[in-house]
Amino acid sequence: MLNYIWISLVAIAIITAVGSDINDELQNSYRNGVPMNATFQVAESPSGAAQTWEGEIDIPGEVFDQFYGIQTQKTDVRQQVTFAAAPNQRGTLLIPISDASPRLWQRMAASAATKDRLMANVVAVSFSPDSLRAQLRFVVEPIKFVRLKAVSQAALDFASTAVQISIGLIGIMALWLGLMKIAEEAGFITILTRILAPVTRRLFPEIPSDHPAVGAMIMNIAANMLGLNNAATPLGLKAMEELDKLNPKKGTATNAMVTFLAINTGGLVLIPATAIAVRAAAGSSNPGIIIGTSIVGASCATVAGVVAAKVLQRLPRYRKDPEAGRG
């Protein structure tokens, strides 16, 4: 199943990217080679022999939208540019792209030769008598294969993100595993597992209720519910390692592992702190209003996950529980 999901994600991504790039090419969505008009304004004309103007170009929103055949740029485009004049009314225009630039230009710059700016060839200039205003006609550098470039970039970026996440886990892992070991040696975990045995025995019938895995799973679920994500992951991994000790067929998940994972993916949290923080930052009058609804949603997820795990493990296709020795 994981194989299919993995290959579908990658295949769908590449097919969609190729399709949308071909579509862009046919429609010429980025108007490669088509000249655009703008008013150019400078505060002062360059001194001496220098032929470089720093100024602002101005394109009315509806003109921009019409040019690119979109409806998203509703406000007028005012953009800082550098114009280097050349003989015969030509020159180059350097458009530095920032967050204030039109969204479309931002997307185009992301796949241009240099990431943070667009280059354009000026094909006609006509200056006003005082040299402070000009009508420019320019062609932006050709933009091609936007999606495919984005896909390649994402592949590299996310590969290094994965390593960063894992390396970042080392310290927290060590801290919580060290603490967990003390708790184990001191017999703390044994007491905890004994209290919760009636529940855990039902959820994980294959695991002896005094096994260290049970303690780690309880600690993980408790940490999750309190929203202590930093503690929950190390404890969850510890639980998986303990569960794996009971796994006679390494490399294949046991029923207990799947059930435990289903509880974790349900993500039952008493206080969804991240969502509340984002709501508060967005100016909500009552950021905490989602506490109740989130608990309902997450409970649905958790119950559905556990029931699904228990039902699916009986299906013939998944019925190869290594623990039960059915092979």
Partner 1 sequence: MVEFLKDIINLVAIIAIPAIFLIVVGWGLFKKVKVYEVFVEGAKEGFDTAVRIIPYLVAMLFAIGVFRASGAMDVLASVLSPLTNLIGMPPDALPMAFLRPLSGSGSLGLMTEIMKAHGPDSFTGVLVSTMYGSSETTFYVLAVYFGAVQIKNARHAVPAGLIADFFGMLGALFICRILFRP
- Rounded Cα distance between 299 and 289, Å, is 17
Nearest to 321 by CA among 243, 262, 266: 243
| Shortest separation between residue 60's beta carbon and partner 1, angstroms | 24
- Which residues, numbered 256-285, are part of the site for partner 1 (CB under 8 A)? 257-258, 260-262, 264-267, 269-276, 278-279, 281-285
- Which residues, numbered 132-171, are part of the site for partner 1 (CB under 8 A)? 147, 150-151, 153-155, 157-159, 161-163, 165-167, 169-171
42, 94, 179, 246: residue in contact with partner 1 (rule CB under 8 A) = 179
Nearest to 297 by CA among 272, 320, 315: 272
13, 119, 124, 246: residue in contact with partner 1 (rule CB under 8 A) = 13
- Rounded Cα distance between 11 and 13, Å, is 5
| Shortest separation between residue 115's beta carbon and partner 1, angstroms | 15
| Shortest separation between residue 105's beta carbon and partner 1, angstroms | 18
- Rounded Cα distance between 20 and 195, Å, is 58
When asked if residue 177 is in the footprint of partner 1 (CB under 8 A), the reply is yes
| Shortest separation between residue 271's beta carbon and partner 1, angstroms | 5
Phi, psi of 186 (to 5 degrees): -80, -5
User: Interface with partner 1 by CB under 8 A: which range of 50-58, 70-78, 135-143, 238-246?
Assistant: 238-246
- Rounded Cα distance between 324 and 95, Å, is 66
Please say which residue, 83 or 238, places its beta carbon nearer to partner 1.
Answer: 238
CA angle centred on 243, ends 178 and 305, rounded to 5° = 110
Q: Is 41 within 8 Å of 55 (Cβ atoms)?
A: yes
| Shortest separation between residue 64's beta carbon and partner 1, angstroms | 21
When asked if residue 316 is in the footprint of partner 1 (CB under 8 A), the reply is no
User: Interface with partner 1 by CB under 8 A: which range of 14-22, 37-45, 59-67, 118-126?
Assistant: 14-22
Please say which residue, 100 or 300, places its beta carbon nearer to partner 1.
Answer: 300
- Rounded Cα distance between 250 and 244, Å, is 7
When asked if residue 293 is in the footprint of partner 1 (CB under 8 A), the reply is yes
The first and second tokens of residue 64, run together, are: 């921009």
When asked if residue 205 is in the footprint of partner 1 (CB under 8 A), the reply is no
| Shortest separation between residue 82's beta carbon and partner 1, angstroms | 31
When asked if residue 72 is in the footprint of partner 1 (CB under 8 A), the reply is no
Phi, psi of 9 (to 5 degrees): -60, -50
Size of the residue set binding partner 1 (CB under 8 A): 116
Nearest to 204 by CA among 196, 212, 214: 214
* Helical (H) or strand (E) element with 298: helix 290-312
- Which residues, numbered 206-225, are part of the site for partner 1 (CB under 8 A)? none
Please say which residue, 94 or 303, places its beta carbon nearer to partner 1.
Answer: 303
Q: Is 258 within 8 Å of 231 (Cβ atoms)?
A: no
20, 39, 41, 121: residue in contact with partner 1 (rule CB under 8 A) = 20
- Which residues, numbered 87-126, are part of the site for partner 1 (CB under 8 A)? none
Dmax (CA) for the chain in angstroms is: 91
